[in-house]
Structure 1
Amino acid sequence: MGKLKGIPHILSPDILHLLAVTGHGDEIVLADINFPTHTICNGSDRPKEYRADGVGIPALLDAILTLMPLDAYVENPVQLMDLTDGDKTKGFQVPVWDEYRKICDKHESAPVSFEKVERFEFYERAKKVYAIIHTGETAAYANILLKRGVC
């Protein structure tokens, strides 16, 4: 496969196709290594599973947002899997969320609102997205849902 100008090299042809066929309001999940992607995608009315094994979510998010805008017409075009109550009590920190903020700010013209979604509710929402990209991300609570905007 030849390299295209301006296309981040970590985006596979399948992921490029995914970005090309999605439209305004479509949602995709970038899933960490522990996310039950195959289970959620198993079924005829479920999201399509894509693989980006060995790729971290921050790098993939940066590459995707180079090509795909977030939805400026909704309050929270980005949703994160929230900490469990036990991890909140322990003061668990999720530094990858700060990376996501910097990446979104770099690519979007206005600040992007993030919504934190309870773990099992996040799984339910994931069942209704267009696609899930399973990554090699090892950071805890790294799962992120993106709502596509318009160019």
Structure 2
Amino acid sequence: MDLTVVAYVIYLLISVALTIWVARTLSRNGRVFLADVLHGNEKLADAVNHLLVVGFYLVNLGFVTLYLKNSDTVADARGLFDALSVKVGVVLLVLGVMHLGNVYVLNRIRRRGLMDREQTPPVPPQGWTAPGTGPWTAPTAKA
């Protein structure tokens, strides 16, 4: 068997396994974060989490597939490791950038939600008092 084909198979196995592992880890650990971002709405957090995982798979597996082709033929074991190290390294960098992008966007959404919560008073106003009628007003001088 040609070593280039062996490099392709090993690259696909490693890249797909890494993508699945990262997606599952992000899904499992990101659920709590999403629930906080979405103000405790568990059903919405699960739905958004699932959509993020599907998008993560599509983008990363699409990239892995597009990046599969190797311009050079692999002649020996050293060439096999050289090709694999570059390809798997790039896939890891793309996975990391995707993860940081997701965390950045979700953190921005979370911050906006926290700012909205801080601007809303904990108790709605109870009424309106006209100026000068409260117990804190100074008594007026009698002539």
Please tell me the TM-score bracket, short chain as reference.
under 0.3
TM-score by length of 2: 0.19
Q: Highest relative contact order (Cα 8 Å, sep 6+), 1 or 2?
A: 1
Greater C-alpha radius of gyration: 2
